[in-house]
Amino acid sequence: MKYLSNTIHIPATFCKLWFSVKKQKSFITDTLIKDFDTINSTNDGSINNDDLKKITDYYGLGVPAILGESFALLRGHKLSLKERTASTYIGAMTGLGDDFFDLKDLSDDDLKLLLHALLNNPEEVKVKRLSENLFLQFYIKVLANIETQNQLKKYIYEVFKAQIMSLKQVSENLSNNEILEITRHKGGVSLLLYRSIFSHELSDEESKMLYNLGGLMQISNDIFDVYKDSQKGIKTLTTTTTDIGKLRNTFRSIMDETFNMTYNTKYSHKNIKKFLRFISMGICRTYVCLDQLEKLQKTNSHIFEPSKYQRKELICDMEKPKNMIKSISYYVKYDLKKNNLQ
């Protein structure tokens, strides 16, 4: 009986997720895919098939279908066409923008020019490559589909600053607290950027909750990306820890704190429960990955060292049936009211 509520709602939550993804895939076919029709004839080499896949299958899909739908569940009414469009294109921007920093594709001057364009007149700025031009064209479509621009531009600036700050994770020796602060801030302002294109009012309580949630999601991403980050020498909470159990406790604590903060927002408890069920489907996947990493730790004198393991050992495949079942089990056991994950 203890976990009956979550169990009962599994079919409805899965159906909501499935229909949300299906609807967004159809929308992408009618929008983003058409934007790429001329790329093959004009491409200067700055856009490849992996970039296109990341835009259409990951960010352009996940930002509206997961995050956008969760915002809609919280407020209690569906995404408008303008919100879906803006959310799709800001997701597509993310797919390109990450590479500007992660792959060091652009010089500092190029990045400053892009930021200037985003905060002022994107139509008037001349950029060098197709990837930058596409980035600005996506942004223009975002602007055309939102009611106000102040919040959007505020968080664009904050995300740029956070991306610059995150470069310290490669170039400097950082304490655990410094890594945690950088990680939570990067994730927090990124989620608030996605929220800024929605028309309903953002209260202080919701802003604080989403900042926390964004940080939690960034930590989750870093847990799944442990192999890639360790290969690149990026210092994350996962690549630097020697004890996965401590990382699990940190993640659990922030998750509990975030979910409690949701009840401080203005929304009805009914909508809050729908919101938490929807997003926790994804968040609880992280515990499956933590389980896998903790098993590796036990094989190495109970010390976690990513360099000691092979790629296939560090990558957690969530498409495996057994991992999907484990994820559902964690979801079922999470008490959305008391935040008591067993």
Instruction: Kindly report, residue by residue over 236-247, the tens digit of the pLDDT.
Output: 999 999 999 999
Tokens of 342: 């067993």
pLDDT value of position 234: 94
Q: Is the pLDDT of residue 1 over 60?
A: no
What domain count does the chain have?
2
**pLDDT surpasses 90 at 334:** no
* Average pLDDT score over the chain: 89
Say yes or no: 184 and 142 in one domain: no
Q: How far is 5 from 250, CA to CA, in rounded Å? A: 26
Domain of 24? 13-146
Q: Are residues 130 and 184 in the same domain?
A: no
Lowest mean pLDDT among 36-45, 52-61, 129-138: 36-45
SS3 state at 241: coil
Does 270 lie in the same domain as 137? no
- At 42, is the secondary structure helix, strand, or coil? helix
Is residue 142 domain-shared with residue 183, that is, in the same domain? Answer: no
Is residue 323 domain-resident?
A: yes
Q: Between 55 and 108, name the one with better pLDDT.
A: 55
Of 193, 99, 88, 103, nearest in space to 145 by CA: 88
| pTM of the entire predicted model | 0.92
Mark whether 224 and 301 lie in a shared domain: yes
The CA-atom distances, in angstroms, between 52 and each of 219, 226, 287, 312 are: 25, 24, 30, 25
pLDDT at 151 over 70: yes
Q: Tell whether the model's pLDDT for residue 27 goes beyond 70.
A: yes
Residue 298 has pLDDT above 50, yes or no: yes
Structure token digits, residue 109: 């001057």
Query: Smallest Cα–Cα separation from 182: which of 208, 161, 213?
Result: 161
Count CB atoms within 10 A of the CB of residue 302: 12
Residue the block writes with tokens 């700055």: 46
Q: What are phi and psi of 225, to 5 degrees?
A: -95, 20
Distance CA 281, CA 334 (A): 10
Q: What does the H/E/C string look like for 128-140?
A: CCHHHHHHHHHHH
**Confidence band (pLDDT; 50, 70, 90) for 142?**
very high
Please check whether residue 238 is in contact with residue 293, taking contact to mean a CB–CB distance below 8 angstroms.
yes
> What phi-psi label fits residue 304: left (phi over 0), alpha (psi between -120 and 50 degrees) or beta?
beta
Q: What is the pLDDT of residue 340?
A: 46
Region 297-303: what's the mean pLDDT?
93
Q: Are the beta carbons of 282 and 229 closer than 8 angstroms?
A: no
In a domain, 2, yes or no: no
243 with 316, same domain: the answer is: yes
How far out from the chain centre does Cα 7 lie?
Answer: 26
DSSP 8-state symbol, 127: -
- In terms of domains, do 183 and 250 share one? yes
CB 139 within 8 A of CB 116: no
Per-residue pLDDT at 167: 87
Q: How confident is the model at residue 341 (pLDDT cuts 50, 70, 90)?
A: very low
275 in any annotated domain? yes
Q: For residues 187 and 335, state if they share a domain.
A: yes
Kindly state whether residues 81 and 207 are assigned to the same domain.
Answer: no
The answer to whether position 65 is within a domain reads: yes
Instruction: Give the whole-angstrom CA distance, residue 156 versus residue 189.
Output: 8
For the ranges 87-96, 124-133, 225-234, which has the lowest average pLDDT?
A: 124-133
Q: Is the pLDDT of residue 213 over 90?
A: yes
> Does a structural domain hold residue 216?
yes
Residues 202 and 293 in one domain: yes
In a domain, 58, yes or no: yes
Which residue type is seen at 150? N
41 band by pLDDT with thresholds 50, 70 and 90: low
- Taking residue 318's Cβ as centre, other Cβ atoms within 10 Å add up to 15
Any domain includes 40: yes
* Same domain for 204 and 105: no
> What is the rounded (10 degree) CA torsion for 123, 59, 251, 303?
-110
Which runs of E-coded beta strand occur in the chain?
Answer: none
Determine, yes or no, domain membership for 22: yes
Distance CA 268, CA 335 (A): 18
